[in-house]
Amino acid sequence: MDNATLHCIFLLYSGGASESVMPMAVTTPSLSFFYSSIFSKSRGFTSSAPSSFSPTPTRSSCSTSLSISVVRSQMAQLEVFSFSGEKVGDTQLDLKSAPSDTARAVVHRGIVTDLRNRRRGTASTLTRGEVRGGGKKPFPQKKLGRARRGSQRTPLRPGGGVVFGPKPKDWSIKINRKEKRLAISTAIASAVQAADALVVEDEFGENFEDRPKTKDFIDALRRLGLDPSEKSTFLMMDVPENVRLSGRNIRSVKMLTPRTLNLFDILDAKKLVFTKSAVDYLNSVYGAQAAGDEEEEEDVGNT
């Protein structure tokens, strides 16, 4: 909580203000966004939180700290390329994006939810009470000159129990549908603004109708200006079988559909490649004009 917010609360409850102040709800940003090293641009990041409280901030600072950020829209112009690598037109991608002061927090929460929901939580070890055997005292307590031992199941012996070992656990957490969509659209919009995205024609898969061939797929990547050794994520409405077979041996290529679209593969890729129909899908579901109450088949990320 910053100085301005603390001063506003101080004025409300101390009665020391020169003019009456109407009480209002104070919303503070998440501490994980401001203080976590995940969002720092360098390893030497230090928190900007003040070390002491200043008793006399200005009235304008109170109104600024209580301002509410709203979701914004980012429109970008993308070039459309053919299978041969030639430019054939342009298209627009208009996605919702979180405000700059909360964008990292939204994306961070989305990726943490995605990764935690992938964990199976089936790791399990045996304690000394669950290990088989060891009911008999190995040797007498005295007269042998050895350290006393009461059971072979002790964690100090090989084959014994495990102290504080993992047990089956449910790691899954929930995230609101709108927040999850906002995290995905913010990540895509950021990649588009950084010129890390391009669009290909829908006829991209028709060039592999005869047979699957990895060499042709690699040549197509190079014609589009993509490095086969760098990670690329393709988003198509439907992945033809020959296209899937042509790209499955390329470790740096990931092919997604609207059903399998997830935040991790978006952030993990250096380049994003969309088909023309995939752009229309993104505009309809994650765009500025998308209906917020529309039901989608997008519960895959929560499983």
Calculate ∠ Cα 46-11-27, nearest 5°. 50
pLDDT-derived band of residue 220, with 50, 70 and 90 as boundaries? very high
Q: Which fold has domain 72-119+172-302?
A: Ribosomal Protein L4; Chain: A; (3.40.1370)
58 in helix, strand or coil? coil
pLDDT tens-place string over residues 61-118:
443 333 335 667 668 889 899 998 999 989 999 999 999 899 999 999 999 999 999 9
Please say if the pLDDT value at position 250 is more than 90.
Answer: yes
- Is the pTM of the predicted complex or chain greater than 0.75? no
C-alpha–C-alpha distance, residues 24 and 77, integer Å: 41
Backbone angles phi, psi at 233, to 5 degrees: -120, 125
pLDDT-derived band of residue 206, with 50, 70 and 90 as boundaries? confident
Element (H, E) at 97: strand 87-97
Does residue 291 or residue 64 have the better pLDDT?
Answer: 291
pLDDT tens-place string over residues 142-167:
999 999 989 989 999 999 999 999 99
- Contact residues for 89 (Cβ-Cβ < 8 A; gap 6+): 79, 80
Q: In which order are the strands placed within the sheet that holds 232-235?
A: 87-97, 72-81, 197-200, 271-275, 232-235, 253-256
Average model confidence (pLDDT) for the chain?
78
Domain ranges of the chain: 3-37+49-65, 72-119+172-302, 125-165
